[in-house]
Amino acid sequence: MNKRLSSIVSILLRKNDYVTIDSISKELKVCNKTIRNDLVTLDNWLREMSLDLDKKPGVGVAILGDEDIKLRILNDVVSKENVIESYSPEDRKLYILKKLFSSNSTIKLQSLSKELYVSRATIHKDLISVEVWLKRHKISLIRNSDYFLFIEGKEKNIRKAICSLIQMEMEFTNLSKLLQSNDKTTSEPQFTSIENLIDIDFIKLQNIVLSVDSLSKYNLSDDSLMQLLILIAVSMRRIETGHSLTLSHDFLEELRSLKEFNMAKDLTSSLEANFDAPWSDDEAGHILVNILGSKTNIASHDSFLKEGLSDIYNNEATTIAKELISCWENDLKIPLTKDSKLLCSLRSHLNPAITRIKYGLPLNNPLLSDIYDTYPNTFKTVKRSAYIFKRILDVDINDDEIGYLTLHLACSIDRLKEPLKTVVVCHSGVGACELLLNKLNFEFNELKVIALKSATSLASFSLSGVDLIISTVPLDIDSDIRNITINPLLTKSDMLRLKVVIKEIYSQKNSPEK
């Protein structure tokens, strides 16, 4: 229910008698037609509340029905009239999802209708998008006799969905503020139930996680740390409400064989000592998988690789990285093996990526559309190499992962780009020539000046391998090499013309898109 509908209800219930549409429209400063349209919506909602909207021509409209119900609704309207907004279908979807995840039993459709101030018919429409969202997270929405709702699914999927729900609703910065706030008094539907999903002393939790020495070597990025804290908070809440997570015996044994498992046990032992919730080895293994799949800060990549992750992951990361480079090199005809940084950066990325890919951990790439728009063919090159993951890991990778790999390849291509071998022809004195060279080197990183010549000496100079000639005098030479004439002082007009020419030649020489 929006503010205007709420105001109409308030007017009618306070008056508790017939009120003309004209007087309502004047009080709310809208036209009579708007009020009539609102009354149609209000009529449907009141029926759900077991009340009637009675209309008498020439007299007005009034809300009729049980006085206790009318009093309760009036109290609700008065208490919320400062926060009621026009909630969109997306707002209601998020609210219903949070109610489903935070409830340990069924929830009533009638309760949702009352809390959101919409009809049951509207709630039924909202449940369509709710069900689609849940199915995407491998969770079923169960409807019991069209009056009650509850969810069913694997515990790992439910936890993953709750984390996704929290992260999709607000940015990490806003989420952090909300979680660290002691103010739990807000009654706006988009915020209620958050505390039921992650009701924990967040500062205390963060300090505990950061105090685990064996975890510090990972130097998690800010968003990875926040994701880990949310996961732990959600897991804690689920454990406390009797929803424990179990892993298959073979998978748990595989995790126990990793040297990082002791780190996960150190963390869960510290959590047990500070919070009233038991952490099993299965729960520790679940946390470990998410840590291994987390992104690290750039500064930690080298030390991270030197200290080493479990050999199985390092070996797989190196194997996949080398095969990717070989595949891309053959596809683009660019000597990528000459770029030593590419192998290092790919291994750093693939160590956590392998864990994410293997165990289906969620990854959101907010740069994906920009990456595709900027490097369309490079993206396609990486996508064509996805079969390597299928062959080695027996899993498919999504476009979010492909987007990040595209950035690594694009950076390598950029590092391997060759500057334009340029001959500068200048007819002025030494001082003017040096000034021109300094300006060219400062403004155009794409150039590599290999010779400074006079117009007369250019005839005897070998132009083999030269990409561009920049001259302060018009040249008459028999060559296919592009040449451009500029002022010795390199004017703004010269700069603009040079930019166009240099961009064209540089792209032709270095672009993998050719």
> In terms of domains, do 176 and 263 share one?
yes
pLDDT > 70? residue 11? yes
> In terms of domains, do 137 and 177 share one?
no
**For residue 307, is it within any domain?**
no
Please state the rounded mean pLDDT for residues 273-290. 91
What letter would DSSP give residue 419? P
Domain holding 205: CATH number?
Answer: 1.10.1790
Q: How many domains does the chain have?
A: 5
Q: Which domain-ending residue is among 394, 416, 438?
A: 416
**Residue 141: its H or E element:** strand 139-144
> In terms of domains, do 200 and 288 share one?
yes
Q: Which two tokens stand for residue 353?
A: 């990526």
Amino acid sitting at position 321: A
Look-up: residue for tokens 């080895």?
281
CB 406, CB 379: distance < 8 Å: yes
Q: Which domain-ending residue is among 359, 388, 416?
A: 416
> In terms of domains, do 375 and 406 share one?
yes
> In terms of domains, do 61 and 138 share one?
no
Domain holding 149: CATH number?
Answer: 1.10.10.10
Task: Report the share of the chain in percent with pLDDT over 90.
Answer: 43
What letter would DSSP give residue 410? H
Q: Which residues of 290-304 are buried (b: 16+ CB within 10 A; e: fewer)?
A: bbbbbbbeeebbeeb
**For residue 289, is it within any domain?**
yes
CA distance 15 to 74: 11
Q: Which two tokens stand for residue 479?
A: 């060559």
pLDDT > 80? residue 196? no
Report the mean per-residue pLDDT for the chain: 84
Residues found in the chain: 514
Q: Distance of CA 372 to CAs 133, 349, 403, Å?
A: 26, 19, 7
**For residue 450, is it within any domain?**
yes
Helix (H, G, I), strand (E, B) or coil at 87: coil
> In terms of domains, do 409 and 323 share one?
yes
Candidate from 9-18, 140-149, 181-190 with smallest mean pLDDT:
181-190
Q: How confident is the model at residue 195, as a pLDDT? A: 55
Q: Which two tokens stand for residue 420?
A: 């334009």
pLDDT > 80? residue 81? no
Task: Report the share of the chain in percent with pLDDT over 70.
Answer: 87
Q: Which two tokens stand for residue 312?
A: 């199985």
> In terms of domains, do 178 and 285 share one?
yes
> What angle, rounded to 10 degrees, do the helices at 399-416 and 376-384 form?
110
- Residues 345-361: tens digit of each pLDDT: 999 889 888 888 887 77
Residue 308 — very low, low, confident or very high, per pLDDT cuts 50/70/90? very low
Look-up: residue for tokens 């679940």?
286
Which of 432, 467, 429, 428 has its CA nearest to residue 451? 467
> In terms of domains, do 130 and 67 share one?
no
Q: How far is CA 344 from the centre of its chain?
A: 25
Q: How confident is the model at residue 77, as a pLDDT? A: 74
CB 226, CB 267: distance < 8 Å: no
Q: How confident is the model at residue 343, as a pLDDT? A: 92
- Residues 88-126: tens digit of each pLDDT: 788 889 889 989 998 888 898 888 887 887 778 888 999
**For residue 167, is it within any domain?**
no
> In terms of domains, do 58 and 109 share one?
no
CA distance 177 to 486: 57
**More confident site: 179 or 239:** 239
CA distance 189 to 444: 55
Amino acid sitting at position 2: N
**For residue 178, is it within any domain?**
yes
Torsion of CA 110, 116, 120, 121, to 10 degrees: -170
> In terms of domains, do 443 and 503 share one?
yes
CA distance 15 to 417: 78
Look-up: residue for tokens 């595209």?
406
* DSSP string covering 186-234: ---TTTTTHHHHS-S-HHHHHHHHHT-HHHHTT-B-HHHHHHHHHHHHH
**For residue 165, is it within any domain?**
no
Q: How far is CA 260 from the centre of its chain?
A: 27
* Structural domain for 457, as ranges: 420-510
- Residues 445-498: tens digit of each pLDDT: 999 999 999 888 888 899 999 999 999 999 988 888 999 999 998 999 999 999
- Residues 391-429: tens digit of each pLDDT: 999 988 999 999 999 999 999 998 888 899 999 999 887
**Residue 432: its H or E element:** helix 430-443
**For residue 428, is it within any domain?**
yes
- State the chain's maximal CA–CA distance in angstroms: 106
Q: Which domain-ending residue is among 350, 385, 416?
A: 416
- E-only strand ranges, 310-395: none
Residue 176 — very low, low, confident or very high, per pLDDT cuts 50/70/90? low
Domain holding 499: CATH number?
Answer: 3.40.50.2300
**For residue 298, is it within any domain?**
no
CA distance 160 to 171: 17
Report how far apart the first and last C-alpha atoms of the chain are (Å, whole number). 57
CA distance 237 to 240: 5
> In terms of domains, do 178 and 284 share one?
yes
> In terms of domains, do 383 and 326 share one?
yes
**Residue 369: its H or E element:** helix 368-374
